[in-house]
Every structure is written in structure tokens, then in C-alpha cells.
């Protein structure tokens, strides 16, 4: 099995970053003809999804996530004074953790004849929920 980490930088608190090209390049360099690639976030406040990179859909996604887990919610994780041994710069970001739980932190993309098996409008997307930050994404090749 072949593994690779790559970095990306988000620029906003909420941002969707298409990484299909990076996944495709990884498969070309390290994969085989048939198998799958596991794409995983290395962070608890980002998610990895497969969907359409359509601007208005992404606005809907952001709105939906903020309705379900708003930043101003009464989240226990944000009671920093009750949490021992946390860094001085610890953010109040419970909403981002909860939103990431809803979306998930990894996807598996099938590969057939050396090509990603994705639908016409599908992209592999990293969803930043607590940016801007530097992030790491893990790619793992699984042979058939």
C-alpha cells in the first residue's frame, strides 16, 4: 500500500476546496490500474466529501451546517475555563467539530483502468470548517 500526505491552506472560516486533481495525480503516480484511494482529513474540524463544486450548492451547505450547529450554540466544548490543560490560544470551535462529524472525515474513491470513478459533476472536496488554517490530507492506495 502506498501512502502520501499533502498540505493545503484554507483562506476562510468556511471554505470548500476541490482536491480531485491532487487525488488523480496521486493515483497516476502511485496507484495501479484497479483499486481505490482513501482520502482522509488529518483534522477534527475539516471534512472530506464527494459532491458538486457548484457555488450556490456550497452556499446552501454552509447555511445548512450553520443551522444545525451554529457557532453561537451552547456547546460544552467551548467552556474553555472547564477544560484543563488546553493551549492559551484554544479556539471556541465546537460548531466546527460537530459540523465535521455530520459530513465525515474520509471518502473512498474507486479506481478503474487507472481513472477515478466519479460522476460527471462529482469532485473530491475538503470542507474547511474552522479556518483559515494549514491542513493535511492523507491519500492511501488500496489495490484490488
pLDDT in tens, 108-121: 999 999 999 999 99
According to the model, what pLDDT value does residue 1 have?
A: 66
Would you say residue 1 lies in a domain?
no
Would you say residue 50 lies in a domain?
yes
State yes or no: pLDDT of 3 exceeds 90. Answer: yes
Alpha-carbon distance values, 105 to 17, 46, 51, 72 (Å): 14, 7, 14, 23
Would you say residue 115 lies in a domain?
no
Would you say residue 86 lies in a domain?
no
According to the model, what pLDDT value does residue 32 have?
A: 78
Closest CA to 115 of 26, 18, 24: 24
CATH number at residue 52: 2.60.120.460
The answer to whether 11 and 103 are in contact (CB under 8 A) is no
Domain of residue 54 covers 15-23+33-74+91-105+123-129
pLDDT tens digits, 36-81: 999 999 999 999 999 999 999 999 999 999 999 999 999 999 999 9
Would you say residue 37 lies in a domain?
yes
Identify any residues that bridge with 40 across adjacent strands, giving them in sequence order.
Answer: 106, 138
The answer to whether 135 and 7 are in contact (CB under 8 A) is yes
> Omega before 132 cis (within 30°)?
yes
Question: Count of domains in the chain?
Answer: 1
Would you say residue 67 lies in a domain?
yes
Would you say residue 28 lies in a domain?
no
Would you say residue 53 lies in a domain?
yes
Amino acid at each position: 500500500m502506498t501512502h502520501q500526505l499533502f498540505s493545503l491552506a484554507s483562506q476562510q472560516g468556511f471554505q470548500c476546496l476541490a482536491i480531485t486533481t491532487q487525488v488523480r495525480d496521486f493515483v497516476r503516480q502511485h496507484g495501479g490500474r484497479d483499486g481505490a484511494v482513501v482520502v482522509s482529513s488529518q483534522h477534527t474540524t475539516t471534512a472530506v466529501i464527494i459532491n458538486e463544486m457548484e457555488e450556490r450548492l456550497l452556499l446552501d451547505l454552509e447555511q445548512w451546517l450553520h443551522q444545525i450547529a451554529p457557532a453561537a450554540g451552547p456547546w460544552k466544548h467551548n467552556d474553555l475555563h472547564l477544560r484543563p490543560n488546553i493551549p492559551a490560544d484554544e479556539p471556541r470551535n465546537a460548531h466546527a467539530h460537530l459540523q465535521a462529524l455530520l459530513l465525515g472525515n474520509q471518502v473512498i474513491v474507486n479506481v478503474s483502468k487507472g481513472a477515478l470513478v466519479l460522476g460527471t459533476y462529482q469532485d473530491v472536496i475538503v470542507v474547511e470548517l474552522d479556518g483559515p488554517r494549514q491542513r493535511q490530507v492523507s491519500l492511501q492506495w488500496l489495490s484490488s
